[in-house]
Amino acid sequence: MLFSHTKQYAPFVQNRQASYAVESYAEDGITTLYQKEINETNGMVRDYVEGVGFYLNQRHLDANYIFLDPIRVDSKHTYVSGISSFDPSPNWFTGFYMMNTLDVITGRYWERFMLKSYPWDAGTDDGMTYKENLPRDRPEAVHRMHAGTAPNGVFTKHHSEHQNGTIAPTAEWECILHSCPIEESNCTKEDWPPKYNCDILKYPNCDQQCDPRVEQPCEQCIPESLMDPKDLHYPDCCAMGREPKKGRCTESAAPAFGRVSVLFAITLVSWIIISQ
């Protein structure tokens, strides 16, 4: 989920007890209480969007991304926050809060930014593994997981340089600015989300090149995960770690990994639309 809001609201805050909305979303992935919470904020939330969950593709890390619908900001709602749950998990999630889309020095909106988020514990469950659920009688405050204190070492990558290991980011959030004329109250970003599951940030013209209706379309690839659409096209299937429907990859063709290169990581992409 991605929110635009005022400084007085945040979907979660470190060292504060989780709201019922945070608890429900972190434990069960249910957004109903967030929708209720937003309706009761008296205008502090300008806009919010929900993404579609997917199974993590451990073999092809580049495939772990989704495109979110555009989200609107304005002069009163310049902050954005994001939260994404893990399923299964006791009450773990990843996200960020209170990112100001306005550069306070120049007074202009950021044209593009990317944030990396880490795993958080909602403090409502004592489960030590992904599938263990032990509800707490007295919830703790929301806190970020750190190496050495993460339950059962979850999300921790161990190596010789650090005795307790390190915790890598679990998600990247990338937002791009799309401004609209003041008189255009219902402004939207055309052709978003991209067609044919094309990653237009990695391949800027992918949505055109991969369109099967053009004279020289991209290769049609064989889907390998539940996230892959039935119609999967890439400029080069082998380079993206997929087998083409016509022909085969050679042994020397190494899969190319994109922006996502850390364990467990997912990328969520959205457009920020200015509505004055």
Q: How confident is the model at residue 40 (pLDDT cuts 50, 70, 90)?
A: very high
Q: Domain of 160: which CATH number?
A: 2.60.40
On whether both 151 and 212 belong to a single domain, the answer is no
Measured CA to CA, the distance from residue 273 to residue 276 in angstroms comes to 10
Confirm whether 16 is domain-assigned. yes
User: 90 or 147, which is more confident?
Assistant: 90
pLDDT at position 223, please? Answer: 83
Asked whether residue 192 is domain-assigned, the answer is: no
Question: Which is higher by pLDDT, 145 or 226?
Answer: 145
Which pLDDT tens digit goes with each residue over 246-274? Answer: 888 864 333 332 222 223 345 566 655 65
- Provide mean pLDDT across the span 171-183: 83
DSSP string, the chain: -EEEE-TT--S--TTSBPPHHHHHHHHH---HHHHHHHHTSTT-EEEEE--------SS-GGG-EEEPPPEEE-SS--EEEEEEE-SS-SSEEEEEEEEESB-TTT--B-SEEEEEEEEEE-SSB---STT---B-SS--B-EE--TTTSGGGTTEEEETTEEEEEE--SEEEEEEEEE--TT-TT---TT-SPGGG--TTTSTTHHHHT-TTSSSPPEEE---STTS-SSEEES-TGGGT--BSSS---TT-PPPP-S--STT-EEEEEEEEE--
The domain total for the chain is 2
Q: What is the pLDDT of residue 270?
A: 61
pLDDT score at 59: 74
- pLDDT, tens only, 123-167: 999 999 999 999 999 999 999 999 888 888 888 887 656 567 889
pLDDT tens per residue, range 94-119 = 999 999 999 989 989 998 899 999 99
**Cis? peptide before 193, omega within 30° of 0:** yes
Owning domain of residue 239: 203-257
Same domain (yes/no): 85, 222: no
* pLDDT band at residue 82 using 50, 70 and 90 as cut-offs: very high
In this structure, are 136 and 243 located in the same domain?
no
Q: Is the pTM of this model over 0.85?
A: no
**For the chain, what is the mean pLDDT?**
81
**Listed residue (73, 94, 67, 99) closest to 83, CA to CA:** 94
Instruction: Return the pLDDT at 37.
Output: 95
- Structure-model confidence comparison of residues 213 and 141, the more confident one: 141
Q: Do 35 and 132 sit in the same domain of this protein?
A: yes
Whether 217 is covered by a domain: the verdict is yes
Residue 198 lies in a domain: no
